[in-house]
Structure 1
Amino acid sequence: MARGGVRTASRGGTGREVAARCGLVARGVLYVLIGVLAVRVAFGGGGQEADRQGALQELAAQPFGKVLVWAVGVGIVCMMLWRLSEAVFGAAGPDGDKASKRATSAARAVFYGVVAFSVLSFAAGAGNRQSGDQQSRDMTSKAMELPGGQWWVGAAGVAIAVAGVVVAVQAARRTFRKHLAMTGASQGARKAVDVLGIAGGIARGTVFAAAGGFVVYAAVRFDPGQAKGMDDTLRSLAQTPAGPWLLVAVAAGLVLFGLFSWAMARWRRV
Structure 2
Amino acid sequence: MKSSSKWKKATAKAGYSAKTVMYIMLGAFILTSVLNTMGREKASQSHVFITLKQQPLGQVFLGILVLGLACYASWRWLQIFITDKSTDDSFFIYMINKVFFFVSGAFYFIAAYAGGKTLLALKSSSSSQGSGKKVSEFLMQYEWGLVLVAAIGFCILIFAIVQFKHTYTTDFLEKFSLPALSQRIEKSVTVTGRLGYTARGVVYSLVGSFFILAAFLSNPSEAGGLQKALETLMQQPFGPYLIAAVGAGFIMFGLYCALEAKYRKID
Q: Same fold (TM over 0.5)?
A: yes
| Residues 170-193 of structure 1 deviation map (CA, whole Å, 9 limit, x = unaligned) | 122101010112433221111111
Match of 1:66 among 59, 62, 86: 59
Matches within 5 A, 1:47-196: 47=39, 49-90=42-83, 98-196=94-192
* Cα deviation, residue 245, structure 1: 0.5
> Are the aligned partners of 1:169 and 1:202 in contact in 2 as well (CA < 8 Å)?
no
> Are the aligned partners of 2:170 and 2:194 in contact in 1 as well (CA < 8 Å)?
yes
Counterpart in 2 of 1:13? 5
CA distance, structure 2, for counterparts of residue 183 and residue 266 of structure 1: 15
Deviates more, 1:105-114 or 1:184-193: 105-114
CA distance, structure 2, for counterparts of residue 148 and residue 129 of structure 1: 25
| Residues 190-224 of structure 1 deviation map (CA, whole Å, 9 limit, x = unaligned) | 11110000001110111111111111111111111
* Cα deviation, residue 89, structure 1: 2.4
Matched residue pairs, number?
A: 262
Q: TM-score, normalised by structure 2?
A: 0.90
Deviates more, 1:83-92 or 1:106-115: 83-92
Structure (1 or 2) with the greater helix fraction: 2
Counterpart in 1 of 2:14? 22
Gaps of 5+ in 2: none
SS for the counterpart of 1:241 is coil
> RMSD of aligned C-alpha atoms?
2.3
Gaps of 5+ in 1: 1-6
SS for the counterpart of 1:183 is helix
Give the partner amino acid of 2:66: G
CA distance, structure 2, for counterparts of residue 168 and residue 117 of structure 1: 29
| Residues 221-264 of structure 1 deviation map (CA, whole Å, 9 limit, x = unaligned) | 11111111212212221111232101111110011001100011
* Cα deviation, residue 46, structure 1: 4.9
> Are the aligned partners of 1:12 and 1:85 in contact in 2 as well (CA < 8 Å)?
no
Q: TM-score, normalised by structure 1?
A: 0.89
